[in-house]
Amino acid sequence: MLDRSGPTAGLGPVEAGRRSLVMSLDDVWFGYVGIGGCEPLRVVARWLAGQEAVALAEYDLLAQAVNDAALGLGKLATVPYSDEL
């Protein structure tokens, strides 16, 4: 588990991207784990619901998972990474 005492980000952009692609929570989580994320589905669900802060590194993995899904559908990757917030 990551140290959450450092900088954090809100997941509004990730959640907006997920909804625009009609991705399920499972879809996001599988993409996140597939690129190196290691938190369980229940933690990712709390992050996306705004119930817990998310570390910038984890935010970027979730953004990448949603952007990869967009590209896979032939759409533009629109979720910004933490350095663009």
Q: How many residues appear in the chain?
A: 85
Whether 39 maps to a domain, the answer reads yes
Q: What is the pLDDT of residue 2?
A: 44
Report the pLDDT value the prediction gives residue 1, as an integer from 0 to 100: 45
Report pLDDT for 5.
Answer: 53
Residue 53 lies in a domain: yes
Residues with Cβ < 8 Å from 40, sequence gap 6 or more?
A: none
Asked whether 21 and 15 are in contact (CB, 8 A), the reply is: no
Q: What is the residue whose two structure tokens read 């993409």?
A: 31
In a domain, 82, yes or no: no
Domain span at residue 36 reads 9-75
Look at the chain and report how many structural domains it folds into.
1
Is 47 part of any domain? yes
Is 20 inside a domain boundary?
yes
Q: What is the chain's pLDDT, residue by residue, as a tens digit (85 residues)?
A: 444 456 777 889 999 999 999 999 999 999 999 999 999 999 999 999 999 989 999 999 999 999 999 999 999 999 999 999 8
